[in-house]
Amino acid sequence: MMQKLKRGSDGILGLLVMVAVLCAGGEVQPAQATPVQNAIFATTITVNSGTDPDDSQSKTCLTDTPCTLRRAIVQARLAASRPVLINFNIPAEAAHGYDAAQQLWRIQVYNTTQTSIFRRLNGDITIDGSTQPGGRITGPKIVIVGPGTGMKDGFIVGDVAGNDNIVIRGLGFQNLRTSIYVNTDHNLIENNWFGLNDAGTAPLLRDANPQNGSGSDGVALTTGADYNEIKNNYFLGLNGVAAAIRGTHNTFSGNFIGTRSDGRVTEKKTDPSLICTPEDWLGGSGISVADSDNTIEDNVFAGIRIQISQWSLQADSIRVSGQRQTIRNNRIGRDGHNAAIGVCGRGVYLSDGPKTLTIQGNQIVEAELSAISLNGALYDANTLRSNVILKTRTWPHLEGAARPESAIQVNPSLPNPFEAFRPARVTQISGVTIQGTAGANSPCPNCVIELFRDDTDNITETLASLAVVTANAQGNWSATLATPLAEGQGLRTTSTTAQYNTIPNMSAGTTTGLSELYVAGYKVYLPLTLKH
């Protein structure tokens, strides 16, 4: 299955994409055009018209002219020889949707009575907008525009079980409800724009209404859709989620959520009174992750905001539930050029008592609400490691909430033993040598201790991960820092259990919340909480 998918996805000449290379502290760099050799497609269908004259579900490019995208899809469904490539060679004429100023082709879809704008895609079909000759190289050349007020769905990937190995590449999607539904396995969605205007500089709002956003969802995977890849796409202005990741063993990587097509959010307000208000950048929603064994890595989330009531909470950048999910090396609140932009909701929200998650190596900068929020009575075995959290404004305490927002928010819905368990304690700071033991009334044999640098500004943060060490059977530990702490700096800790029942009735691999701040001379700074 995967070999067939690879052949279909590699066989396109002249592909130019913006690949997200998330170097530490650096900018995202565009990839160079690299011709790919030895494409293998048994059938090729060439779309030669940007029109869509009717919504026939039976006309093909063999039975009718011109060859439109709709007819090409119907023909691909019937193809006896696979894999099938749908490529493009549309004339650069206004009658075919060509915009000379933008150097792109718009396919304005017929106002069908069907729920989705095209027939469902069955297996081994590649639709590649980057095959269109001419046009721009700064974004998709082919833009699919939904009819009416944007309440129709776009592509349905997979008609029945086994319709796998479908590739959607190099397309823009505008004025749709959900742009792509994925029902099957081993599919690839890459190098597309969802919800951006033609120039890639702002969201294209449905019905010109900010509350409607640019669409509901960008990509939605159903439960049972497994081993899919969603990579190197741009999502902007969506008021549902940019992507709903369900199923198992799916990967969401190298995507930009909330930014322009150049990775920036230059219209973001800097006046604190306007941040996350209706005057601020309309970046849209983040993503949701459910079911199990999915990986979310190396993505950029910046400027996340939707137009909702002032009394409603803004969307989380990543809302995750289920089991064995991996959330790693994402930038939340920094754009593709490393500018601190922030997000208007929580950074990572662990929902409904998830289990065995790995939340590792993420940067979470200027989240309006908690950077990482822990929740659920069944919460267990979730490991947090090396997440850097920066905040310049005090964490708010929302009206009616039992706990204030924080860098790592420990909510009252969690198991009581977890709430009561204290992370590792620092007992001595001597230059670069740090010594410590288990938290008060919280024996932690062989636990993994992580030390974070913070400052004394009364805002709880994890500005850098300084050391990861393992305690002995008595819970005692020591660490050596690369350099001594500077004036105004201190240490916070987390502890991760090494065995079942260290935290009563909870499994190994469970990471606590953050400790208080320890500074040289044993002076303890408690976080200051302000009502907001």
Cα three-residue angle 363-366-372, rounded to 5 degrees: 60
191 Cβ neighbours under 8 A, 6+ residues apart: 15, 17, 18, 130, 140, 169, 170, 232, 233
Query: Which tokens go with 30?
Result: 């565009």
Q: Which of 334, 331, 323 is nearest to 348 (CA)?
A: 331
Cβ pair 151, 125 in contact under 8 A: no
- CA distances, 502 to each of 75, 173, 396, 515 (Å): 61, 50, 32, 17
Closest CA relative to residue 296, chosen from 280, 320, 315: 320
**C-alpha 418, offset from chain centre:** 28
- Dump pLDDT digits (tens) for 246-286: 999 999 999 999 999 999 999 999 999 999 999 999 999 99
Tokens 């609140």 belong to: 333
CA distances from 291 to 48, 158, 221, 363 (A): 41, 19, 11, 24
What confidence score (pLDDT) does residue 13 get? 29
Cα→Cα distances 325→84, 220, 226, 229, 299, Å = 33, 17, 13, 15, 15
pLDDT score, position 26: 60
- CB proximity list for 33: less than 8 A, separation 6 or greater: 14, 15, 16, 137
Give the pLDDT of residue 312.
87
- Residue ranges in the chain modelled with pLDDT below 70: 1-39, 522-532
Summarize pLDDT for 187-213 with one digit per residue, the tens. 999 999 999 999 999 999 999 899 999
